Amino acid sequence: MRPENLNTKIFLDSGDPDKTKEIKDLLGFLDGQTTNPTLISRSPEAKKRLKDGSKFTEEEIYDFYQDVV
């Protein structure tokens, strides 16, 4: 839960859903998350797909982005 006396917002800049969950569990809250295509390409799922030569469809990349963010 977000502390009432905290006057600043806490945002995470990440493309890894596991890290997002880890930080949210550690802090108990996040005000939001930002990311960019480079961070998403570094996520374990994206790395695996790139290594396998698999591509994301437009719908898959949108869903993947929504899960990450």
- Three-state DSSP at 10 gives coil
Mean pLDDT, residues 56-62 taken together: 82
**Residue environment code for 17-54, b if the CB has 16+ CB neighbours within 10 A, otherwise e:** beebeebeeeeeebeebebeeebbeebebbeebeeeee
Q: How confident is the model at residue 69 (pLDDT cuts 50, 70, 90)?
A: low
Token pair in block for residue 48: 């695996």
- 10-48: pLDDT as tens digits: 999 887 778 888 999 999 999 988 877 777 778 888 888
